[in-house]
Chains A and B, each alone.
Chain A
Amino acid sequence: MQEIKIGLEVHVQLNTESKLFCSCPTSQAEPNRNVCDVCLGFPGTKPVLNEKAIELALKIGYALDCRINKKFLFSRKTYFYPDLSKNFQITQLETPVSSGGKLNIKDNKIRIRRVHLEEDPAKIIREEDHVLLDYNRSGIPLVEIVTEPDLKSPREARIFLQKLQQILEFIYVGDFSKEGGIRVDANISMTKYESKYGYEEGLVEEKKGGVRVEIKNISGAKEVEKALNYEMLRQKNLLEVKRETRLWNEKTKITISAREKEEEDEYGYIFEPDLPVIELSDKILNEIQSNLPELPESKKRRFLKYKISPEIIDTLLTEPELTHYFEYLCETHNEKASAVLLAKYLKRTLNYHNLKLKDVDIDVRHLRRIIDLLQKYLITDDVAEIIIREMVGDHVKGKKVREPEQVLRDLKYEKPLEEERIRKFVLDVVRENTKAVKDYKIGKKESFDYLIGQVMKKTGRRASAKRIKELLKREVG
């Protein structure tokens, strides 16, 4: 028998406008432009805490069901490295913003040990024989989310991370399309139990392994799964696993040893004396808690009541904006039609362009009009998708996004057939395919589909399958 324990340290870049301890912007810029005396660690400068970062960290604490520490403080983690402007990092040790939370994935409850705030070091750019330092990243606010070693497989680690990322997106604390949006250190230990028969003690279980190996700096959930899978394989082939820190190489897909560690890291933590103890009022906490957006889990429960398939709901839940659009559309239109339009046609088109809904300027009113057209049988489903493709295409080309009717005009779209015309085609098909009609009547269901196909051939895109089906049913019974 084998037992696997995986614990994760997830670093999330918070989407504040300014850095954690100074007013430098966090936006993308030329190297070493978004810097000041404070984030470069000039002598005499002092940190001033960004309140927005506290708010975002607290949102994460609430979303992960954590205990919020009303009083917390910061610490200095001291180690020498060229990317640290002060050669210490301001982080939290004794009292993080919040601790003791949980996140359920299926039947497994993953305990969250802590959620704490810290500053990002500068970026090291490695050149052939030297390195360059870009301090734009120095002081960017990060939240570190640490789990207990409750994950039981690399796959579970991936699912956990995807779920976590989904929650973080829904509460609007991070932008994961940015470089370095989510970075993970993964700890894994494998314990083997072997049954042995001893002469005196009888059947005994012997425990082997259980050495913790840390894999540092993996970006993204899928890479974490790959890195852990590799690491499991590596360890299985070893006689003895050493306690060490390893690095995941995304290109070669292997882990390499960074350093062996016999004991805990030596960081010589002291309390950050340049920052006071932070005390939060109940008023602020209540405000943050009550303004916390609805979490995906609860949205899913609500949407399931609309009798929409779980797959479609999961697609809606891949982006908070899709769910917002869905709820707007539901105010005026049928839930199922709205969900299909968004989850199938729109999402498919966005994926094709590698876009997110929030990046595209699509008006909800236009989507409403597309559903109207569908429901009045003025267009078919595939025409609806074509309209959406054209509209997103406009955005991609940097043009003004056209209205659905304009798209139809530009496509020289012919109006769908009148019911009477479709009926004529149906009658034609029935007359021409007496054998198929007969077969259907004696119970051959496939024949009905064949008949539909024949009618569609005649009508082109100008009649929907649904409509044809209705009329055909009426004729052949």
Chain B
Amino acid sequence: MDLKEYLKNPDKEKLFENTFSEIKKIQEKYKPFITISEEHARKYLEEEKGDKDFLLPISVKDNICTKGIKTTAGSKILENYIPPFDATAIKKIKEVGYIIGKTKMDEFGFGTFCLNCAYGIPKNPYDVGRSCGGSSGGAACLTSALKLPHIAIAESTGGSISCPASFCGVVGLTPTYGLVSRYGLVDYASSLDKIGVIAKTCFEVAHGLTKIAGYDSKDSTSINRKSEDYTKYLKKDISKFRIGVPKEYFDNIDEEVKKEVWRAIKKLEGEGAKYEEISLPSTKFALPSYYIIAMSEASTNLARYCGIRYGMTKEIKGSYNEFFSEVRGEYFGEEVKRRILMGTFYRKAGYRDKYYLKALKVRGHIIKEFKNEFKKFDCILAPTMPIIAPKFTDIALLSPAQQYAMDILTVAPNLCGFPHLSVPCGKSNGMPVGLHLIGDHLQEGKILQLGSWV
């Protein structure tokens, strides 16, 4: 049952009981949660006045602060951290739902397969031997397994919503940078982080986005504009749509994935949309530019975790530098340390010009290249991921650089702050394939409109 059906005949008590009995089973089988917050949800449901019938189960990625519910960002260093406040997006979504739990993620969002989580690895409901994708792996895993109305609040920096949505066969929307307030989002790379939505259908995703979007004076990068109802775009006529299909996004792609994506494009053509092949030659620069910027910012954002004010700590011994190193050395995972070291290097005096500042210039160039295409096209379509969800045994053989390369298709729209939507568009080998729809800034309506026809 999806949200649209449920809203015709809502029964909040039944939904609540069903949800918690279901997610306990799901947690046994696929392990998408770090924390299940049943007591918290029950209390909230009892206290909440107003339009109770429409309160929905909401899961939240564990890097988004929830007042009174442990928020770890997938890291040991925040194992005991209970935020004193709700993130703005959480405050907003609580008007239409209750929080059922906090979902697994790669530590601080650092990963493509959700293997870098300090609290265990979620398993793909389509094949438990395969990855759910990352970093919002728990959110997509749960969404895929839970057959009840539910919205997952997730977050993307370089593809962390699209990738797991694609691998788990669900819909994932990453909005325009600044459309949803980041206040209360545990920062990975502040100029790239976006809170978004994962759900089973475009309707649920649009419903969720409508609730969490909007200006917030506590986030200086938040966009001040009139709010809108994104569900109104769904299934609207697309015969005037013009679609760009960039050829670079089909290089080195799994043949089966390519086939499914083209089938989806043809289907949209059947609905009246016109497509054209285009070229985005700077694509190859997006990956290094993204990783340099993301790691540079991450290495400063994570500096605050040092055992003094919150989070895990140790007995204070030695100089402050020794103490910080002890705490950080013990509680940060390997991938976190790798990215902090690389990020610190990229912004070091003497290398800063060559890496960090260069990456910013490349970013500007890529935005221009896309913007130019958006003058002619409403949407740009591509595969979300170059492969279907990989087996854990295969991932083990990949080097960090090869893992980073998996983000090749998702980093550009993230780097540019463009809204993008991954929708399931077929299967290969029994595993879901995702179609990626990229829109111009603030054109969430268009990608949802087109996506609803896939």
Whether the pair B187, A41 counts as a contact (CB closer than 8 A) is: no
Whether the pair B185, A276 counts as a contact (CB closer than 8 A) is: no
Q: What's the Cα separation between A44 and B347 when bound, in Å?
A: 23
Whether the pair B347, A43 counts as a contact (CB closer than 8 A) is: no
Whether A266 contacts B348 in the complex (CB less than 8 A), given A48-B218, A87-B303, comes out as yes
Kindly supply a per-residue 1/0 record for chain A positions 78-99, scoring 1 wherever the CB is within 8 Å of any chain B CB and 0 otherwise.
1011100111100000000000
Q: List 7 A-B contacts (CB under 8 A).
A: A42-B310, A44-B184, A46-B218, A46-B220, A86-B304, A268-B300, A271-B360
Whether A43 contacts B65 in the complex (CB less than 8 A), given A80-B321, A273-B191, A275-B220, comes out as yes
Chain A residues with CB under 8 A of B316: 130
Whether the pair A41, B304 counts as a contact (CB closer than 8 A) is: yes
Among B4-12, B77-85, B258-266, B418-426, which stretch is in contact with chain A? B77-85
In the complex, B183 has a CB within 8 A of chain A: yes
In the complex, B372 has a CB within 8 A of chain A: no
CB distance from A132 to the nearest CB of B (A): 12
Whether the pair A78, B348 counts as a contact (CB closer than 8 A) is: no
Contact of A276 among B217, B221, B347 (CB under 8 A): B221
Kindly supply a per-residue 1/0 record for chain A positions 23-44, scoring 1 wherever the CB is within 8 Å of any chain B CB and 0 otherwise.
0000000000000010011111
Whether A80 contacts B320 in the complex (CB less than 8 A), given A37-B84, A85-B309, comes out as yes
Whether A44 contacts B324 in the complex (CB less than 8 A), given A268-B300, A273-B189, A274-B221, comes out as no
Q: What's the Cα separation between A107 and B411 when bound, in Å?
A: 59
In the complex, B297 has a CB within 8 A of chain A: yes
Chain B residues with CB under 8 A of A416: none
Whether the pair B83, A42 counts as a contact (CB closer than 8 A) is: yes
In the complex, A72 has a CB within 8 A of chain B: no
Count of chain B residues near A, Cβ 8 A:
45
Chain B residues with CB under 8 A of A264: 349
Contact of B303 among A80, A273, A275 (CB under 8 A): A80
Chain B residues with CB under 8 A of A230: none
What 14 additional pairs, Cβ within 8 angstroms, besides A78-B303, A266-B349, A273-B190?
Answer: A37-B84, A42-B84, A43-B65, A43-B73, A44-B83, A44-B182, A44-B184, A44-B185, A44-B186, A45-B184, A80-B306, A270-B297, A270-B356, A276-B220
Chain A residues with CB under 8 A of B449: none
Chain A residues with CB under 8 A of B356: 270
CB distance from A378 to the nearest CB of B (A): 62
CB distance from B282 to the nearest CB of A (A): 21
Chain A residues with CB under 8 A of B235: none
Whether the pair B85, A43 counts as a contact (CB closer than 8 A) is: no
Whether the pair B220, A43 counts as a contact (CB closer than 8 A) is: no
Q: What's the Cα separation between A287 and B329 when bound, in Å?
A: 52
Q: What's the Cα separation between A85 and B218 when bound, in Å?
A: 18
Chain B residues with CB under 8 A of A268: 299-300, 344, 347-349, 352
Q: What's the Cα separation between A78 and B300 when bound, in Å?
A: 7
CB distance from A349 to the nearest CB of B (A): 48
A interface secondary structure, majority: loop
What residue of chain B has the Cβ atom nearest to residue A21's Cβ? Answer: B220
Whether A48 contacts B65 in the complex (CB less than 8 A), given A81-B320, A268-B349, comes out as no
In the complex, A100 has a CB within 8 A of chain B: no
In the complex, B36 has a CB within 8 A of chain A: no
Whether the pair A76, B300 counts as a contact (CB closer than 8 A) is: yes
In the complex, A285 has a CB within 8 A of chain B: no
In the complex, B414 has a CB within 8 A of chain A: no
In the complex, B296 has a CB within 8 A of chain A: yes
Whether the pair A44, B303 counts as a contact (CB closer than 8 A) is: no
Whether the pair B217, A37 counts as a contact (CB closer than 8 A) is: no
Chain B residues with CB under 8 A of A45: 183-184
CB distance from A1 to the nearest CB of B (A): 35
CB distance from A43 to the nearest CB of B (A): 4
Kindly supply a per-residue 1/0 record for chain B positions 386-405, scoring 1 wherever the CB is within 8 Å of any chain A CB and 0 otherwise.
00000000000000000000
In the complex, B71 has a CB within 8 A of chain A: yes
Contact of A43 among B81, B191, B221, B299 (CB under 8 A): B81
Sorted from nearest, which 8 A-B pairs have the closest CB atoms? A87-B303, A273-B191, A273-B190, A268-B347, A44-B184, A43-B186, A44-B65, A86-B304
In the complex, B308 has a CB within 8 A of chain A: yes
In the complex, B219 has a CB within 8 A of chain A: yes
Kindly supply a per-residue 1/0 record for chain B positions 343-355, scoring 1 wherever the CB is within 8 Å of any chain A CB and 0 otherwise.
0100111001000
